[in-house]
Amino acid sequence: INTCLWLLSLTNVGLWYPKGVSLSLIGYSDSDYAECRLDRKSTSGTCHLLRSALVSWHSKKKTCVALSTAKAEYIAARSCCAQILWMKQQLRDYGTGLSKIPLRCDNTSAINLTKNLILHSSTKHIEIRHNFLRDHV
Protein backbone atom coordinates (compact mmCIF):
# COMPACT_ATOMS: atom_id res chain seq x y z
CA ILE A 1 0.00 0.00 0.00
CA ASN A 2 2.95 2.33 0.62
CA THR A 3 4.03 1.83 -2.98
CA CYS A 4 0.58 2.84 -4.24
CA LEU A 5 0.63 6.00 -2.12
CA TRP A 6 4.10 6.84 -3.38
CA LEU A 7 2.99 6.39 -7.00
CA LEU A 8 -0.05 8.60 -6.43
CA SER A 9 2.23 11.34 -5.12
CA LEU A 10 4.07 11.36 -8.45
CA THR A 11 1.17 12.31 -10.71
CA ASN A 12 2.83 15.61 -11.63
CA VAL A 13 6.15 13.96 -12.58
CA GLY A 14 6.76 13.00 -16.18
CA LEU A 15 8.51 13.72 -19.44
CA TRP A 16 7.23 16.86 -21.10
CA TYR A 17 8.01 17.80 -24.68
CA PRO A 18 6.62 21.20 -25.69
CA LYS A 19 4.87 21.41 -29.05
CA GLY A 20 7.13 22.55 -31.85
CA VAL A 21 10.36 21.35 -30.24
CA SER A 22 12.31 18.99 -32.47
CA LEU A 23 12.74 15.51 -31.10
CA SER A 24 15.78 13.31 -31.50
CA LEU A 25 15.92 9.61 -30.72
CA ILE A 26 19.09 7.58 -30.22
CA GLY A 27 19.62 3.93 -29.28
CA TYR A 28 22.55 2.27 -27.54
CA SER A 29 23.28 -1.45 -27.33
CA ASP A 30 25.92 -3.44 -25.50
CA SER A 31 26.63 -7.02 -24.56
CA ASP A 32 29.18 -8.92 -22.57
CA TYR A 33 30.59 -12.18 -23.85
CA ALA A 34 30.18 -15.36 -21.79
CA GLU A 35 30.53 -13.47 -18.50
CA CYS A 36 28.35 -15.84 -16.48
CA ARG A 37 30.83 -18.34 -15.07
CA LEU A 38 28.16 -21.00 -14.52
CA ASP A 39 26.78 -21.34 -18.04
CA ARG A 40 28.84 -18.86 -20.13
CA LYS A 41 25.74 -17.08 -21.39
CA SER A 42 25.94 -13.42 -22.32
CA THR A 43 23.92 -10.54 -20.94
CA SER A 44 22.94 -7.74 -23.27
CA GLY A 45 21.14 -4.48 -22.88
CA THR A 46 19.76 -1.54 -24.77
CA CYS A 47 18.67 1.96 -23.89
CA HIS A 48 16.88 4.63 -25.87
CA LEU A 49 16.95 8.36 -25.31
CA LEU A 50 14.41 10.86 -26.58
CA ARG A 51 15.82 14.40 -26.39
CA SER A 52 18.44 13.18 -23.89
CA ALA A 53 15.82 11.61 -21.60
CA LEU A 54 15.91 7.86 -21.00
CA VAL A 55 12.56 6.54 -22.20
CA SER A 56 13.23 2.84 -22.79
CA TRP A 57 15.71 0.24 -21.61
CA HIS A 58 16.11 -3.51 -21.60
CA SER A 59 18.58 -5.92 -20.08
CA LYS A 60 18.45 -9.68 -20.43
CA LYS A 61 20.59 -12.74 -19.98
CA LYS A 62 20.56 -14.72 -23.22
CA THR A 63 18.97 -18.16 -23.41
CA CYS A 64 21.81 -19.65 -25.44
CA VAL A 65 25.58 -19.29 -25.54
CA ALA A 66 26.89 -16.87 -28.17
CA LEU A 67 29.73 -18.29 -30.24
CA SER A 68 31.57 -14.97 -30.51
CA THR A 69 31.69 -11.46 -29.11
CA ALA A 70 30.55 -10.16 -32.49
CA LYS A 71 27.46 -12.38 -32.41
CA ALA A 72 26.56 -11.30 -28.87
CA GLU A 73 26.91 -7.62 -29.82
CA TYR A 74 25.08 -8.12 -33.12
CA ILE A 75 22.11 -9.72 -31.38
CA ALA A 76 22.02 -6.86 -28.85
CA ALA A 77 22.03 -4.35 -31.72
CA ARG A 78 19.16 -6.28 -33.39
CA SER A 79 17.10 -5.96 -30.23
CA CYS A 80 17.89 -2.25 -30.03
CA CYS A 81 16.91 -1.79 -33.68
CA ALA A 82 13.56 -3.52 -33.15
CA GLN A 83 12.75 -1.17 -30.26
CA ILE A 84 13.83 1.86 -32.30
CA LEU A 85 11.50 0.83 -35.14
CA TRP A 86 8.60 0.47 -32.70
CA MET A 87 9.34 3.85 -31.10
CA LYS A 88 9.70 5.49 -34.52
CA GLN A 89 6.23 4.23 -35.47
CA GLN A 90 4.78 5.50 -32.19
CA LEU A 91 6.28 8.94 -32.79
CA ARG A 92 4.94 8.90 -36.36
CA ASP A 93 1.46 8.13 -34.96
CA TYR A 94 1.79 11.29 -32.84
CA GLY A 95 2.68 13.35 -35.90
CA THR A 96 6.43 13.47 -35.33
CA GLY A 97 8.52 12.02 -38.10
CA LEU A 98 12.14 11.06 -37.59
CA SER A 99 14.27 10.18 -40.58
CA LYS A 100 17.55 8.57 -39.54
CA ILE A 101 17.91 7.36 -35.97
CA PRO A 102 21.42 6.54 -34.77
CA LEU A 103 22.08 3.19 -33.13
CA ARG A 104 25.35 3.12 -31.19
CA CYS A 105 27.23 -0.16 -30.75
CA ASP A 106 30.74 -0.48 -29.32
CA ASN A 107 31.86 -3.53 -31.29
CA THR A 108 33.55 -2.99 -34.66
CA SER A 109 32.93 -6.57 -35.80
CA ALA A 110 29.19 -6.29 -35.16
CA ILE A 111 29.07 -2.96 -36.99
CA ASN A 112 30.93 -4.47 -39.95
CA LEU A 113 28.50 -7.41 -40.03
CA THR A 114 25.64 -4.97 -40.66
CA LYS A 115 27.52 -3.43 -43.58
CA ASN A 116 28.64 -6.69 -45.22
CA LEU A 117 25.82 -8.30 -47.18
CA ILE A 118 27.83 -11.40 -48.07
CA LEU A 119 27.48 -14.42 -45.79
CA HIS A 120 30.91 -15.85 -45.03
CA SER A 121 31.73 -19.16 -43.38
CA SER A 122 32.86 -17.32 -40.24
CA THR A 123 29.44 -15.66 -39.84
CA LYS A 124 27.24 -18.51 -41.05
CA HIS A 125 26.25 -19.35 -37.47
CA ILE A 126 24.38 -16.06 -37.07
CA GLU A 127 20.78 -16.99 -37.73
CA ILE A 128 18.79 -15.42 -40.52
CA ARG A 129 16.35 -13.94 -38.00
CA HIS A 130 19.10 -11.68 -36.70
CA ASN A 131 19.97 -10.43 -40.16
CA PHE A 132 16.95 -8.14 -40.37
CA LEU A 133 19.21 -5.57 -38.69
CA ARG A 134 20.97 -5.16 -42.04
CA ASP A 135 17.72 -4.02 -43.63
CA HIS A 136 17.39 -1.12 -41.20
CA VAL A 137 20.96 0.16 -40.93
Angle of helix 69-93 relative to helix 108-115, nearest 10 degrees, comes to: 60
State the CATH number of the domain containing residue 76.
3.30.420.10
- Whether this prediction's pTM lies above 0.75 is answered by no
Asked if the model's pLDDT at residue 32 lies above 80, the reply is yes
Asked if residue 3 belongs to a domain, the reply is: no
Asked if the model's pLDDT at residue 11 lies above 90, the reply is no
User: How confident is the model over 100-104, as a mean pLDDT?
Assistant: 90
Q: Which amino acid is at 71?
A: K
* pLDDT score for 121: 52
- Count structural domains, the chain: 1
In whole angstroms, give the CA distance from residue 39 to residue 51.
38
Asked if residue 34 belongs to a domain, the reply is: yes
pLDDT band at 128 (very low <50, low <70, confident <90, very high): low
Asked if residue 39 belongs to a domain, the reply is: yes
Helix (H) or strand (E) holding 44: strand 43-50
Asked if residue 7 belongs to a domain, the reply is: no
Instruction: For residue 122, report the phi and psi dihedrals to the nearest 5 degrees.
Output: -75, -15
118 to 71, 113, 121, 123, 134: CA distances (angstroms): 16, 9, 10, 9, 11
Asked if residue 10 belongs to a domain, the reply is: no
- Least confident window among 16-20, 29-33, 127-131: 127-131
Structural domain that includes position 119: 21-136
Asked if residue 2 belongs to a domain, the reply is: no
Asked if residue 12 belongs to a domain, the reply is: no
101 to 61, 80, 110, 132: CA distances (angstroms): 26, 11, 18, 16
Residues 6+ apart with CB under 8 A from 128: none
Asked if residue 89 belongs to a domain, the reply is: yes
